Structure 1
Amino acid sequence: MKFAILAFPGSNCEMDLYYAIQDIMNEEVELVSYKKNSLEGFDAVLIPGGFSYGDYLRSGAIARFSPIIPALQEFAKSGRPVLGICNGFQILTEAGLLPGSLQKNVSAKFICQTEPLVVNNAGSLFSSAFKLAQIINLPIAHGDGNYYCDQETLKRLIANDQIIFKYRNNPNGSVANIAGITNKAGNVLGMMPHPERAVEDILGSSDGIGIFQSIINYVKSREVVAHG
């Protein structure tokens, strides 16, 4: 399979993702510029963390108008996997691919530390490698990671089992301890923690591998079905 990693001005985690996919997961991967207008030939799209366009206006607000975004929206509509990490999550909300928004941490401080997460849904294409209620450890590094949505949206997220990961200790004030959610179709995941920074034990955790492995398993299982 082949992954695309979208690179925007101010992205700074794209090479971490590249390493995770190519060197750890042994899958094909390509950096795709924000200036492109096609995602043809890719099986999954990853949107890295960083500070796209300097986080001016709001985190992810300007990236939403990049030439690649219509192609991303079509890719998501096709049902193929899209994973937005940190600033990538913010871009997905700004692009209308995920509900809610990411606000400033309640501490008003940038937080950079490893956090325990609870796997709230082990049946999604992003979490099938885990067990329900499993605790995984992933690093966070953000100033605007406080997920917010109104009560009606939260009810829908809960009813549709769209909350994939929750913080055990809620470091940023996110509503309902939310660390990662999907769209209703389940093929677009936004999460503030960084799985690409947790793919080797020497980094402190290798729990991020499970997220990438889940995506790979999903895509390859679809290929088997498609080819009969």
Structure 2
Amino acid sequence: MKIGVITFPGTLDDVDAARAARAVGAEAVSLWHADDDLRGVDAVVVPGGFSYGDYLRAGAIARFAPVMQSVVDAARGGMPVLGICNGFQILCEAGLLPGVMLRNVGLHFVCKDQWLRVENTETAWTTRFDTGADILIPVKNIDGRYTASAETVRELEAEGRVVFRYVDGNPNGSINDIAGICSANRRVVGLMPHPEHAIDALTGPSDDGLGVFYSVLDATRSLVTA
């Protein structure tokens, strides 16, 4: 299986995302922001960092990159897409996920190991987890406060589209402790914490992030065999 990892100017975590893809036996394929060719990948990771310097608004410029139009089209056709941190911001800006990310409460950059609860195991990126499982994943952001209209939040909660929730403290003030959400078809997931930094208990706080990448292998294989 081929997992594409996008690089924008200012991307920081593309190498780590590619390493995570390889750790579960997938082929990591580099995708360039200015190229609209997805190179035959089966899934896409939009990684963390500061795309285009976040000079206008986090993710607002990256949303118009040629590669993102291809990602939007592919996602609407059912391709699994994962947005991590800045990638989550980009997916919101691109309209693939609802809501926006605001400056953290306290206006400080947060960098810590964070406990999350897995709320939805029916997405393309979470089937390897148990519902209600607590996982330890690093978080590092300054614009990580998820917010949306009251109607949108009610819809996300009612439809089970909150995928991850902060436990043992909310590091950025996100509404309802939301750490990650998914699209209505469960194929697109965005989260602020970094599962690609939790794939080896020796170098990270845990290897809990591997479940995210193993899950998408299952999702893409099911499409191939269907």
Shorter-normalised TM-score: what interval? over 0.9
Q: Which runs of 5+ in 2 are unaligned?
A: none
Equivalent residue for 1:51?
50
Structure 1 gaps of 5+ residues are: none
Aligned to 2:143: 144
Amino acid at match of 1:49: G
- Once the two structures are superposed, the pairs formed by residues 25-64 of structure 1 within 5 Å of their partners are 25-64=24-63
Other structure's SS at 1:31 match:
strand
Checking the alignment, whether the CA contact within 8 Å between 2:29 and 2:41 is kept in structure 1 is no
CA–CA separation in structure 1 for the residues paired with 2:39 and 2:31: 11
Aligned-residue sequence identity (percent) comes to: 42
Which residue does the alignment assign to 1:72? 71
Tell me how far 1:40 sits from its aligned partner: 4.6
Size of the aligned set, in residue pairs, is: 224
Partners of 2:134 and 2:198 lie apart in 1 by 14
- Correspondence list, 1:183-198, <5 A: 183-198=183-198
2:46–2:82 CA contact under 8 A, matched in 1: yes
In the alignment, which residue of structure 2 is the partner of 1:214? Answer: 215
Pairwise CA distance, 1:69: 1.5
AA of the residue aligned to 1:78: G
Match of 1:103 in 2: 102
Q: Which residue of 2 aligns with 1:89?
A: 88
Structure 1 match to 2:205: 204
CA distance in 2, matches of 1:146, 1:201: 28
CA offsets per residue over residues 173-192 of structure 1, 9 Å max, x none? Answer: 00010000011111111100
Runs of 4 or more off by more than 4 Å in structure 1? none
Question: What residue identity is the alignment partner of 2:208?
Answer: D
The answer to whether 1:170 aligns with 2:189 is no
Do the aligned partners of 2:3 and 2:27 also contact (CA within 8 Å) in 1?
yes
Tell me the CA shift for residue 123 of structure 1: 2.1
When structure 1 is superposed on structure 2, of 194-203 and 214-223 the one drifting more is: 214-223
Separation (CA, whole Å) in 1 of partners of 2:121 and 2:188: 15
For 1:15 and 1:69, the matched residues in 2 are separated by 19
- RMSD, aligned α-carbons: 0.9
Displacement after TM superposition at 1:127 (Å): 1.1
CA-CA distance at 1:149 after TM superposition: 0.4
CA distance in 2, matches of 1:138, 1:98: 21
**Cα displacement (A) at 1:132:** 1.0
1:18 to partner: Cα distance:
1.1
Query: What are the superposed Cα offsets for residues 134-189 of structure 1, whole Å, 9 maximum, x if unpaired?
Result: 10000000000000001100011012111000001211100010000011111111
Q: CA deviation at 1:98?
A: 0.6
Under a length normalisation based on structure 2, what TM-score does the superposition of the two structures give? 0.97
